[in-house]
Amino acid sequence: MKIKKLASAVLSAILGTVIIFSGCSNGGSVNDNSSKTESSAPTSVAESKTESSKTSKAESSTVSKTESQSSKNESSKNTEPDADYTPAMWKVTKGDKEMYLFGSIHATQDGAENLPDYVQKAFDECDYLAMELDTDSMMNDLGQALQLTQKLMYTDGTTIKDHISKETYDAAVKYLTEKGLYISYYDNFKPMMWISLLENAMYNDAGIDITKSMESIMTSKAKKANKKILEVENIDIQLGVFDNISDELADVMILSYTQADPSEQAKANNKLYEQWKHGEAIEDTDDEEIPDEYKEDYEKFSKAMLTDRNKGMADKAEEYMNDGKKVFFMVGAAHMYGDDGIVQLLKDRGYTVERVSKTENLSQAA
């Protein structure tokens, strides 16, 4: 049984944020000190700042070394765009106003940073980069990070043990413990946190680096070009999606991660990346493998994850157009397609939306 794998900007932010506030230095290893029977959350922002400061200092040297090595490696790489690298992009126009829509993917592969000419030129023409969330800014804002952590925790006195079966809880703890990723503090968190931890571990096992996303690539390009970054959504919208996961569905989803075959996930990710790379439609087909008794719950969750958010994203795109902003509007590719996708929603509202596939088409698309 497969359940939709939810790799996304918000899950990466959640994992990084919670690791900071649980006193861990990185997402690759968590050591639960046996002399402490229970871990506790930071009791104040000042306390969190102290822990975060220690973490930042410890990481800064490693980051500098990593970036230095990365620069050396990059210099030896071919920076020419791959000839068959043709991700989907659309030009949106109405009157003298225009913007570009670009469908992103959260787990890329080598060469994704070398954008095709038509994408790079469109990006260069724009003054703003709009993304689902500015996770880079979030991770550097201790206040936002603390708020996010608090929103992920149960506040009614219950723990994850009260919301999923013992079998699933034991399987998740065993899976994370074997990878050095479990501490008892995590029991205070809602299913979304557990999904984030398990997904990250699964992708690591599959050799997939979900930190190498189009979001991180384009954020870096935007900063270098001094473009302002706009948030299409906010953390409350993205976290609100997970309010639509029933305890029963959360149980199934969490258990599915503990049973996932890393090699199969690697194949699935490669297939998804190839579809995205060639500009093919990204569609949700996972519901075919959901057990019948959970399909209604899953459909509700899927609607909140895609359909409902598509409308809000289209509203935001229209807002940018009305304000006269020249925006490179980038959200997950799955949000672009279908009758309820952003492309069709904007067409229905009277905008002209044309697919762009060549640099010369940038001025012709209208």
Task: Quote the pLDDT of residue 43.
Answer: 33
pLDDT above 70: percentage of residues in the chain: 73
- Looking at the DSSP bridge assignments, the partners of residue 130 are 230, 329
Task: Quote the pLDDT of residue 210.
Answer: 77
Note whether 14 and 193 are within 8 A (CB). yes
pLDDT band at 342 (very low <50, low <70, confident <90, very high): very high
Task: Quote the pLDDT of residue 56.
Answer: 42
pLDDT above 90: percentage of residues in the chain: 49
Task: Quote the pLDDT of residue 14.
Answer: 56
Is pLDDT larger for residue 4 or for residue 128?
128
The encoded tokens of residue 360 equal: 């010369």
For the cut 50, the answer to whether the pLDDT of residue 250 exceeds it is yes
Residue of 295, 208, 247 lying closest to 4 (CA atoms)? 295
The residue count of the chain comes to 366
Tell me the average pLDDT across 265-278.
91
Task: Quote the pLDDT of residue 83.
Answer: 79
For the sheet containing 352-355, what is the strand order? 228-231, 128-131, 327-332, 97-104, 89-94, 352-355
Contacts (Cβ under 8 Å, ≥6 apart) of 205: 262, 265
For the cut 60, the answer to whether the pLDDT of residue 41 exceeds it is no
Tell me the average pLDDT across 160-173.
98
Tell me the pLDDT tens digit for each residue of 47-101: 333 444 444 444 444 344 444 444 444 444 455 657 789 999 999 999 999 999 9
Tell me the pLDDT tens digit for each residue of 98-111: 999 999 998 899 89
Note whether 327 and 334 are within 8 A (CB). no
Taking the model in full, what pTM does it have? 0.78
For the cut 90, the answer to whether the pLDDT of residue 278 exceeds it is yes
Tell me the average pLDDT across 335-358.
95
Note whether 249 and 189 are within 8 A (CB). no
Is pLDDT larger for residue 95 or for residue 14?
95
Tell me the average pLDDT across 289-297.
81
pLDDT band at 282 (very low <50, low <70, confident <90, very high): confident
Kindly report the average pLDDT of the chain as a whole number: 79
